[in-house]
Amino acid sequence: MKELITLIAKSLVNRPEQVGVAEVPGDHTIVLELTVAKEDLGKVIGKQGRTAMAMRTILSAVSSKMKKRAVLEIIE
């Protein structure tokens, strides 16, 4: 899941070298913290949060196959 979010984020931004995804595991939940360059933050979030919502939907589908719950947090 971490690699999937990294791949999607790197394809969206102008500075892919500054994309970072930290994985915080829990009992039944995995929190993925996405950090990007400040000027690329709008591209990852998208208009009215649509891009971020699409990334969360994809992550939810993948995590349900693994019988876990995943949460994507975009860190400013």
What is this structure's pTM? 0.88
Q: What kind and span of H or E run contains 10?
A: helix 2-12
Q: Which domains does the chain have, with CATH numbers?
A: 2-75 (3.30.300.20)
Within its chain, how far is the Cα of 25 from the centroid? Answer: 15
Strand partners, 72: 32
Instruction: Please tell me the predicted confidence (pLDDT) of residue 68.
Output: 87
54: left (phi over 0), alpha (psi -120 to 50) or beta: alpha
Averaged pLDDT for residues 58-69? 91
Residue 31 burial class via C-beta count within 10 angstroms: exposed 0-12, middle 13-18, buried 19 and up:
middle
Answer yes or no: is pLDDT of 66 > 90.
no
Q: What is the pLDDT of residues 8-59, one digit of tens each?
A: 999 999 999 999 999 998 888 999 999 999 999 999 999 999 999 999 999 9
